[in-house]
């Protein structure tokens, strides 16, 4: 059901790869709620995914951009405002990548060139995106910027590897830049700490099925799906959350506040 929550609002959605992506589901829901947007992803990611299909479905244009490249981002921001006819109301940062994970390197045996690349793509890119928006004065007052994270930023999940550090940095950037964006531009900046979700990127983490099954047993409401996350993101893009900023918002069925569940106790009592 749609409520026209984003009627007249416009923005940029980073990271839609395929129909499993949270960014993909968010784009569909934003479209259903009346929002218009530009889709963007790194050129290499676009070759791997089906972003053209999403663009056609939502009547959106695509601007390829490397989120670690300041020139690409400046071009993305200016062209988006040109295409959409003015300043932006929302931005979704849904980007994450660990070369160490891809290459099977343990956390205790990192290749630091890989580490730096993953940090740049997964975390520093969020600062670069916001700095590009900030310098271009591209956001309307009461606009909303959201990035996706995971609670491995707060708790140790061994196989999440250096992505845990990247997410911790990402959340810190949201708080720090959120202060300046709020004070000077009346723009909100938040992160959503989502349940483990079977996206293409997520499934690249070793032991991912174990992550999901454990979280499902631990969460009173069960895991939040990609569509659930898209709906939550829509609420943060809407005018219903105008005073929510600099927050890391757990969207995980209660996992983050559960010490242990009866299901887990029973599993280990067998």
- Residue 150 a catalytic site member: yes
Is 212 annotated among the ligand-binding residues? no
Is 94 annotated among the ligand-binding residues? no
Task: Mention every residue, 6+ apart, whose C-beta is less than 8 A from residue 176.
Answer: none
Residue 20 CB: number of other CB atoms within 10 A?
16
Is 238 annotated among the ligand-binding residues? no
Is 104 annotated among the ligand-binding residues? no
Catalytic residue among 160, 169, 214, 232: 160
Q: Where are the alpha helices (DSSP H) in the chain?
A: 22-32, 43-48, 51-58, 70-84, 99-102, 112-119, 125-135, 163-185, 208-218, 226-237, 262-268
Residue 217 phi/psi, 5° resolution? -75, -30
Nearest to 204 by CA among 163, 169, 153, 170: 163
CA 100 to CA 105: how far, in whole Å? 5
Is 15 annotated among the ligand-binding residues? yes
Catalytic residue among 134, 150, 169, 232: 150
Please give the structure tokens belonging to residue 115: 């580490």
What is the helix (H) or strand (E) element at residue 40, kind and residue range? Answer: strand 36-40
The single-letter DSSP state of residue 59 is T
DSSP string, 235-262: HHHSGGGTT--S-EEEESTTGGG-S--H
Positions marked catalytic: 150, 160
Give binding residues as ranges: 15, 21-22, 95, 167
Give binding residues for NAD(+) as ranges: 15, 21-22, 95, 167
């Amino acid at each position: 059901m749609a409520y026209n929550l984003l009627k007249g609002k416009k923005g940029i959605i980073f990271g839609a790869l395929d129909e499993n992506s949270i960014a993909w589901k968010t784009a569909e829901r934003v479209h259903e709620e009346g929002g218009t947007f530009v889709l963007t992803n790194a050129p290499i990611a676009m070759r791997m995914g089906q972003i053209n299909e999403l663009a056609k479905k939502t009547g959106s244009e695509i601007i390829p951009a490397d989120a670690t490249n300041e020139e690409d981002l400046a071009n993305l921001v200016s062209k988006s405002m040109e295409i959409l006819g003015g300043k932006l109301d929302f931005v979704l940062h849904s980007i994450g990548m660990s070369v160490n994970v891809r290459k099977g390197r343990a956390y205790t045996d990192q290749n630091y060139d890989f580490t730096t690349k993953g940090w740049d793509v997964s975390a520093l890119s969020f600062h670069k995106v916001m700095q590009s928006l900030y310098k271009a004065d591209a956001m309307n007052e009461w606009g909303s910027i959201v990035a996706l994270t995971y609670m491995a930023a707060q708790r140790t999940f061994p196989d999440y590897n250096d992505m845990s550090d990247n997410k911790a940095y990402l959340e810190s950037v949201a708080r720090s830049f959120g202060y300046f964006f709020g004070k000077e531009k009346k723009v909100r900046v938040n992160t959503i700490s989502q349940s483990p979700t079977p996206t293409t990127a997520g499934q690249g983490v070793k032991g991912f099925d174990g992550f999901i099954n454990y979280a499902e047993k631990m969460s009173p409401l069960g895991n939040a799906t990609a569509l659930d996350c898209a709906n939550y993101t829509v609420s943060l893009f809407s005018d219903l959350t105008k005073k929510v900023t600099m927050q890391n918002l757990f969207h995980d069925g209660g996992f983050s506040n559960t010490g242990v569940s009866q299901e887990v106790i029973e599993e280990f009592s067998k």
